[in-house]
Amino acid sequence: MLKRRIIPCLDIKDGRTVKGVNFINLIDAGDPVELAKIYVDQGADELVFLDITATIENRKALAGLVERIACEINIPFTVGGGIDTVKDVSVLINAGADKITVNSSAVRRPELISDIAAQFGSQCVVVAIDTKFLNNEWMVVVDGGRTKTELKTLNWASGVEELGAGEIMLTSMNNDGTKSGFSLDITSQVSSRVNIPVIASGGAGSMEHFRDVFFNTECSAALAASIFHFGEIDIRELKSYLRHEGIAIR
């Protein structure tokens, strides 16, 4: 397997970085441009920017802020939020994004994945899958976890790969913001089902949680937010710890 990646995530609301638990009760976590610079200095492998209320508020992601961040970093940069068309992708790529991520819009119009892949290449398309354990089944949820769907998570993961996605960002809504650890079961199921990279997301609270998700699943990256934003874990120290544990890390 390729060396694993560590990815901080900037959840953006009203131009500020925020973080909550299970996607609610948001608190301010700082200036996104300054945080992005810190993560580059600490050795982050990539950076994800999610305009978390763009879809709910029926607007586009903040291209101006994306451009400001892109000017300050030299690592791969994935941007999501309010992307409904190929034109939206073009705007964000021109603003400095290397990859884009689609979620609710892809569930509602799956051909969007194929359209973006055809125009920009599969390597540009990250499909975010928010999943929740409901009635003994991992199901896809959309609109920041507010809306249930009839899609089973494993089926949707296979489907987005077939449609041309180059990567999956899998977030367990049950674990998000809880700092209780990544959801190893669904992460393992998805990462072993598909042949594209899977980013594990939701629940990181300690260095051991990163070790566990890399040891117990085939995910290629692990993403976290608040533990990085509030200085609970330094990415340099995390990478050193993981190497000591025998995990091949970038």
Active site residue ranges = 11, 130
Hey, what are 157's tokens? 């993961």
- Cα–Cα distance measured from residue 213 to residue 242, given in angstroms and rounded to the nearest whole number: 11
Which whole-number Å values give the CA distances from 86 to 92, 95, 139, 166, in the listed order? 10, 14, 27, 16
Which whole-number Å values give the CA distances from 144 to 140, 147, 155, in the listed order? 11, 8, 20
- Cα–Cα distance measured from residue 179 to residue 4, given in angstroms and rounded to the nearest whole number: 20
Cα-Cα-Cα-Cα dihedral sign, residues 79, 28, 143, 184:
positive
